[in-house]
Structure 1
Amino acid sequence: MVRLTAVLAVMSLMLGIALFSFPARKNDDTRDFSQFYCAAQIVRRGLGRQLYDLKTQVEFQSKVASVHVFYNHPPFEALLFLPFTYFNYRAAYTLWTVTGLALLVCTALLIESHTKVSLAVAQYARVHADFGLVVIIFLTFGPATTCLLIGQDSMLMLSIYTLAFILLKRGAEFQAGCVLACGLFKFQFIVPFVLILVLRKKWSTVSGVATVGALLVAASTKISGGQVITEYPRFLLLDRTYQQIAGFAPEYMPNIRGLLYLATKGRLPVAFFGGLVAIFSLAALWLAAKNWQDRHFSLSFSASLFATLLASYHLYNYDLTLLLLPIAIVCGELAQRRRLLSIPGITTAALILLFTPPMHRLLLLHGVYALMCIPILVLFISAARLIRFSSNSQNAIA
């Protein structure tokens, strides 16, 4: 009862902060939710063909918030936010925040039931741990908190990967691929993982991704017309006006791209830097595929998800909400083997850094958030080593 009260208190506090920090003047609002709300409004007005016209986005967004971010996701995601456009902006934001909280709690329940991460918390913190404590830890994870407060969509991605993990674990590979494809609204987190599946010849899962992916492309062309097939890539990659306004900053990206950008101080020629990022990213994905072992599926899935985040070209603070799944899987696995407290100190340090909220804030304030790639890299290497160790142990017993 006490733990339930604590969970409700944290959730209420989160919602309270979201609502009370809502600015009185629309020009002071810089929440990312405005991009989704306005994209859905554009589609609802029958202007889907103008979805990636910056003037149209400015026109709609300036009515509800400060124009600080543009909608750059595939058209089909805008459909998800259509119901919210029947409410005023503040009410819609409140409903989306409540939806995010509900998604996180439901996903935490699924993760706990399939990983027993509460056992890891109990062993590490030496306290009684249950689902309630897991929810509190998830809610206070820096990237997850940020995601909820600014109205981002990372909770959806966490839910999708969690469902895909459960389905794959049950052997429902095609269905898992279908679910995974639903995350293509942020394709940079799906394509690298699918590449690992291709290298592992998981054709059933890949076909599921392709099937639903084709349906989503069809839905997008229905919304924005057939020209969106060429217009969307042009908007993302070649529209100089958009690139200048969007101001993508690699030093804030906790992935291979961001870490290399910090290391080279952004002085390398664009083509050479891009090639370097591609080489290291592909190497991470190849290592994940090479270490994948079906008899150690959970650990293999986790290592692959770590590699996916490292190789993703575009990754920001709130996107690290997705880390909750692979970390829970690995820690739960170690706890069940009674080996959690014997992990290397560097792995423990990586976990502490990731779950210390002020650390995220500090790195963001100093413009070096790409350094958060290092603990993710440590966890990836640790997961890969754990797979090999588990395999060698089983072979020795056999």
Structure 2
Amino acid sequence: MIGEKNIEEMNLLRNKEVINFQKVIYIFLLFVLIFSMCNYLIKGIFKTILGFNVDFVTYYSAARVIKYGEKLYDNTVLLKIQRESGLPESEGPMPYLYPPLFAVLMLPFTFMNYTFAKNLWLFLNQAFLMGALVFTWYSAKDKISCIELIFLLFLLLNFAPIFSNLNLGQVSILIFLLVASSFYLFKKRKDFWTGVLLAFATMFKITPGLLIVYFLWKKEYRVFFSALFSLIILSLLSIVLVGIETNYFYITKILLPLARSRIPHPSNQSYLGFFLRLFSNSDFANTLSIAASLITLMLAGFCCRKKVDRSDFRFNLEFSLVITAIFLISRVTWEHHLVWLLFPFITILVYLTEMRKIFLLVALAFSYAFIALQFNYIDPRLAKGIFILAMSPRMYGVLILYWLLVYTLLIFKNEKKKDMLPGIKY
């Protein structure tokens, strides 16, 4: 009897210790979440409200140019309207480098004063971001636990590309929403609307067009032709609304030169930007970038070669790999572009936690840290000797994520037993 009492007391003691440990963990997570929320409010919200949203100023000015029937891509006209409207000014005219149709879609903001329009855009971006995260998560899982929600909020509230988007007044969060929702609809077998949303994303920026090519590679022809048809309709609409000359000017004088651009600035975190900073010979750097891009694309194509049902989680991983590859091979990858990476981060996090692959989770944490943490990597003092390697942290993070996805796809078991991946959606 005495022995049984001792055992019961020991069990009770162990249970209390477990409960106390759980309380400590929950309190720690609560403090982390509070810190993250404060971080987001300061760097994402207050800094945006008080700061100079250079890209939104450009969108707003371009929409006014359309409203007044002036030449959209004339920098002197942009600067003139900017000054006449009492908008904040940068050092010289801020060129508008987006498709004409995007300026048309921004027209409703011109019926408001700039300050109200800027704050409304900030509010809308919060909604876009929440929507993108919901579509991303529910493309992978049917439900979310309290712990998963805390981790999701941590990813969101400390992600530097989000702060860059908000501070600049950028459109990348809206594109992220279109990309995430298009994949969600694809999983739901809504092929027509998948193509439509990808076409809209491509009309804002060209890079989502590579996702359309991915669906062609996977022989998802209904998605591809829906996107192609939508692009044709949107292009015709753009010609009707702003004229064929403006659209021709955009393609020949803006889009094609951008495709040939060589920007060594540290803000460019693509392969090309990395090699241009390392080598003074831009032709040699460009050749290395093309070689690295071809290897990246061929490996991604190899990993995505299998024909799988869209309900298979492998599709989520493949789509994530293509998104990640886009930022490596692009001629220009600014920090704010990387907000899309929340899709692959969440996707592979779901998979690795279900499979309990601790080592790969550590690698994922390093990838996130390289991309999410803020420090002055564009400091010109780093552009000397070996320190120049410190000017490409975002690229390192993207590269780690890319290889993590490649490895995961190469070892991925095309298995649909619930006992293997109990939390993942099929």
Tell me how far apart the structure 2 counterparts of residues 10 and 268 of structure 1 sit (CA, whole Å): 39
Q: Hey, what does 1:217 align to over in structure 2?
A: 235
Q: Which of 279, 282, 287 is the aligned partner of 2:294?
A: 282
Instruction: Report the alpha carbon displacement of residue 102 of structure 1 after superposing the two structures with TM.
Output: 1.5
Q: Hey, what does 1:364 align to over in structure 2?
A: 378
Per-residue displacement from partner, 1:35-78 (whole Å, max 9, x unpaired)?
0001111111223xx10112111212234121453111001111
What TM-score, normalized by structure 1, do the two folds share?
0.81
Per-residue displacement from partner, 1:347-378 (whole Å, max 9, x unpaired)?
4322222232x2xx321334764442122112
Q: Hey, what does 2:199 align to over in structure 1?
A: 181
Tell me how far apart the structure 2 counterparts of residues 130 and 393 of structure 1 sit (CA, whole Å): 24
Q: Which of 392, 400, 410 is the aligned partner of 1:378?
A: 400
1:202 partner amino acid: E
Q: Which of 69, 73, 77 is the aligned partner of 1:46?
A: 69
By relative contact order (CA 8 Å, sep 6+), the higher-ranking structure is 1
Instruction: Report the alpha carbon displacement of residue 333 of structure 1 after superposing the two structures with TM.
Output: 1.4
Specify the structure having the higher radius of gyration (Cα). Answer: 2
Q: How many residue pairs are counted as aligned between the two chains?
A: 366
Instruction: Report the alpha carbon displacement of residue 303 of structure 1 after superposing the two structures with TM.
Output: 0.8
Query: Please, what is the CA RMSD of the aligned residues?
Result: 3.2
Instruction: Report the alpha carbon displacement of residue 263 of structure 1 after superposing the two structures with TM.
Output: 2.7
Asked if structure 2 preserves the Cα contact closer than 8 Å seen for 1:288 and 1:304, the reply is yes
Q: Which of 107, 114, 118 is the aligned partner of 1:89?
A: 114
Q: Could you say if the C-alpha distance between residues 221 and 235 of structure 1 is closer, same or farther in structure 2, counting changes exceeding 3 Å?
A: same
Asked if structure 1 preserves the Cα contact closer than 8 Å seen for 2:274 and 2:392, the reply is yes
1:336 lines up with 2:366 in the alignment: no
Q: Hey, what does 2:366 align to over in structure 1?
A: 349
Tell me how far apart the structure 2 counterparts of residues 8 and 237 of structure 1 sit (CA, whole Å): 38
Q: Hey, what does 2:226 align to over in structure 1?
A: 208
Per-residue displacement from partner, 1:105-151 (whole Å, max 9, x unpaired)?
222223233335997xx9xxxxx525365235313210101211221
Asked if structure 1 preserves the Cα contact closer than 8 Å seen for 2:59 and 2:96, the reply is yes
Q: Which of 394, 409, 416 is the aligned partner of 1:387?
A: 409
Instruction: Report the alpha carbon displacement of residue 86 of structure 1 after superposing the two structures with TM.
Output: 1.2
Per-residue displacement from partner, 1:204-231 (whole Å, max 9, x unpaired)?
2211221111122112212321123421
Q: Hey, what does 2:8 align to over in structure 1?
A: none
> Higher mean Cα deviation, 186-195 or 90-99?
186-195
1:60 lines up with 2:81 in the alignment: yes
Asked if structure 1 preserves the Cα contact closer than 8 Å seen for 2:102 and 2:204, the reply is no
1:365 partner amino acid: D
1:353 partner amino acid: F
Tell me how far apart the structure 2 counterparts of residues 362 and 9 of structure 1 sit (CA, whole Å): 21
Tell me how far apart the structure 1 counterparts of residues 188 and 227 of structure 2 sit (CA, whole Å): 17
1:190 lines up with 2:190 in the alignment: no
Q: Could you say if the C-alpha distance between residues 215 and 312 of structure 1 is closer, same or farther in structure 2, counting changes exceeding 3 Å?
A: same
Tell me how far apart the structure 2 counterparts of residues 309 and 36 of structure 1 sit (CA, whole Å): 23
The alignment partner of 2:282 has SS state of coil
What TM-score, normalized by structure 2, do the two folds share?
0.76
Per-residue displacement from partner, 1:254-300 (whole Å, max 9, x unpaired)?
112212212324x233xx65454334323322321221143411111
Identity of aligned residues (%): 20
1:80 lines up with 2:80 in the alignment: no
